[in-house]
Chain A
Amino acid sequence: MSTHTPSQLRTNADLRQLQRTMAAALMKPLTRQDGMPASTQVDFITPNDRMSSFERLEIYARQYWFRLLDCLYDDYPALRVFLGERRFHQLCRDYLAQHPSTSWTLRNLGSALPEFITDLKARDVARVEWAQTLAFDEALKKPLRIDDLLGADPSTLHLGLQPCVVLIQIDHAVDHFITAMKKTDADVRGSASQAMSEAPTRTKVAQAPKLKREHVHLAVHRHDNQLYFKRLVPESFAMLAALRDGLTLADAIELALAQASPNADWPAQIRDWFTEFSQLGWFTQFPRKS
């Protein structure tokens, strides 16, 4: 269905209407042959002696879809391997059709993909890959050392968790899956300037490693600008999550140990956690409310 596009642009409202019409044309899903749908409104584009209005606009439509698909290919390589080329490509197309980018940065394009996925295994893979995206370039604030905590009152002490440490619970051993893939994640994403995008390369994807069912408490974190996975015991995971969410140290420990075995030497365990997490630089000042 065509919408009215103003024949002259006298006001900002006219400009907005024209831009809405063009954006709708570009964001309409491509056909199976990667073409612009025949029903697309093109009457606001002038033809030239070599190309019709449709063909000229189609360049931009293909560019839009190829660029965004390419971004998801970059951000979810493990999911691509897990699903296989055909299913992954279709998933990305369906996702983009329902979740067009609403951010100025492509970094956030795939933020809603994990929740978009219904298959629980695939969703876990996507959740871990999104956590990697966050851990890659979230802030690393000045870390607190264990000496900084000496003498503090646990009942009033708030500790912050580094933004580049992402805690995630999953029901599959995605960390092992990704490690087996030997994923590299050190590159900065970023298409530059106005360079055209080509369709994502549909090369044969690697053989998928086995994804085992296993409940995992995982920290995805950055250290010396490399991404790492660290498996946590449920109690340390719960303590870190509680600290991140603003509980005092005493309350976080109480919550973490609420259902823990009474037979373990928890004071010694907690000392070990704090030594290790402090060495990793995971603790920081709790962010003050602005």
Chain B
Amino acid sequence: MPANTHNGHTDLGIGLGLRVPHYRHILEKKPVCDWFEIISENFMVDGGRPLEVLDSILEQYRVVQHGVSMYFGNADPLNRDHLKKLKRLVKRTNTPWLSDHLCWGSVDGRCSHDLLPMPYTMSVAKHTAEKIRQARDFLEVPICVENVSSYAEFTQNEMTEWEFLNEVVEHADCGILLDVNNIYVSSQNHGFDPFEYLRAVPHHRVGQIHIAGHTRHDHVILDTHDHPVPDPVWDLYAEAIQNSGSTATLLEWDDKIPSFEDVHAEALKANRYLHEHTHA
């Protein structure tokens, strides 16, 4: 759904990830771009250039926060220090919604700085949902959780990834940041039909979509975000927006980053899909 409670009733179009190599171009050229997504943790600092750049961007553009270390799936409780700094940033950016990943990443205070896959069980889904609720209550902003790409599955799994996602978002009553590249990567690594995954997603909860590229190896596909979006991912994107409507969409390009114009042009390909596959 284009605008819903999970994306703060906004109706944003195609966005780009705000990345360091593009700072100068954006600040000097002020290109037309619907919105920028920032990695929250890069700006959860007390001062310096990151915040100065952010403030300049905020004068011109809408910014949406995307996090990488909330770790809703940790057995450990939420990190209060992290949450306080995150809330301070939320007030600075006035982000209409905030996203982080459906994953775990640390235990006993030791942090992997990775987005590790969840074991798909009902008790874990309820535990994870409760933490999403806690975070939303504290941050006072809608939360969308992103499905991650994965390379391993647990022997303890009791359900599919999409069933787990559904249980979590229903119990948490939160939104979904639907990463169609991650669905594709995981489908190839684990041998499931990505379209079955898409059909099972509660479309009314999709507040944002991610598209990206990946790297194919002999036995595994890695989520590298260093290529243009490949055709199978565009196909999934078309299906996703057919189901969910004209949803705020962001292209992720995080490594071997080309010029701003090249990244922007790749992102704007999504417009064609929005026109052809939605009735927005």
Contacts and interface: CB of A to CB of B under 8 A. Distances in A.
B46 A137 contact: yes
A140 B45 CA distance: 11
B75 interface: yes
Contact of B111 (A13, A48, A50, A103): A103
7 contacts: A9-B123, A16-B107, A26-B112, A27-B112, A44-B154, A56-B151, A103-B111
A188 B53 CA distance: 10
A11 B122 CA distance: 10
Given A12-B127, A105-B69, A194-B149, A20 B108 contact: yes
A18 B66 contact: no
B251 to A, nearest CB: 11
B109 to A, nearest CB: 5
Interface residues of B, number: 68
A30 to B, nearest CB: 14
Interface in A92-107: 100-107
Nearest to A186: B49
A6 B110 CA distance: 21
B119 A137 contact: no
B111 A101 contact: yes
Interface stretch (B27-35, B200-208, B223-231, B264-272): B223-231
Interface in B48-90: 48-50, 52-53, 66, 68-69, 74-76, 79, 81-82
B41 interface: yes
A43 to B, nearest CB: 7
Interface string A55-99: 111011001100110000000000000000000000000000000
B252 A8 contact: no
Contacts of B25: none
Contact of A15 (B17, B113, B119, B252): B119
Interface centre among A15, A106, A195 (most CB of B within 10 A): A15
B139 interface: no
Nearest to B156: A9
B155 A7 contact: yes
Contacts of A188: 20, 42, 49-50, 53
A183 B30 CA distance: 29
A45 B152 contact: yes
Contacts of A101: 110-113
A102 B111 contact: yes
Nearest to B214: A196
B274 interface: no
A136 B48 CA distance: 6
Contacts of B255: 195
Contact of B68 (A57, A138, A193): A193
B219 interface: yes
B124 interface: yes
Interface residues of A, number: 65
Contacts, number: 184
A189 B49 CA distance: 11
A164 B46 CA distance: 9
Interface string B174-203: 000000001000000111000000000000
Given A22-B116, A51-B219, A196-B222, A190 B191 contact: no
A222 interface: yes
Given A137-B48, A222-B48, A48 B39 contact: no
B153 interface: yes
B26 interface: no
A189 B68 CA distance: 14
A138 B47 contact: yes
Nearest to B152: A56
Contacts of A55: 219
Given A45-B153, A190-B42, A137 B112 contact: no
Given A19-B104, A19-B107, A194-B101, A63 B48 contact: no
Given A15-B75, A15-B124, A104-B82, A23 B110 contact: yes
Nearest to B74: A19
B148 interface: yes
Nearest to A136: B48
A179 interface: no
A185 B212 CA distance: 29
